[in-house]
Amino acid sequence: MRYDAPSMRWGSELALTAVEAQREVDRSRADLYRTDGYATLDWLANVSLGPRLRLNLGLFNLTNTAYIEWSDVRGRVADDPLVPYYTRAGLNASASLRYDF
């Protein structure tokens, strides 16, 4: 869901990402790790600070969901002790400035 002010001076977005559990893996040679499904919610905002300068802000994983991306652990065995280290960050934030030349 996104809103941009008619003046284009600011905007905001709420983004939902939902991922299904990975249950179909080739287990013919080993018992491979299968990831659970998850959903995250992110909030992004931007504001114009001048004609060529924009501030971008983001709050990511607002629900503080612990999850592992399938692409990070693909091919790892189910009892691999390193799998928990692939857990993605919980609630986190970012800020950046954009200047157009």
pLDDT in tens, the chain (101 residues): 999 999 999 999 999 999 999 888 877 878 889 999 999 999 999 999 999 999 999 999 999 999 999 999 998 999 999 999 999 999 999 999 999 99
The pLDDT value given to residue 53: 97
Pairing outcome for strands 92-99 and 2-4 = unpaired
Report the C-alpha gap between 74 and 91 in whole angstroms.
24
The domain locations on the chain are 2-22+30-99
pTM of the model: 0.82
Location of structure tokens 């008619």: 6
The pLDDT value given to residue 28: 80
Q: Which of 24, 4, 22 is nearest to 13 (CA)?
A: 4
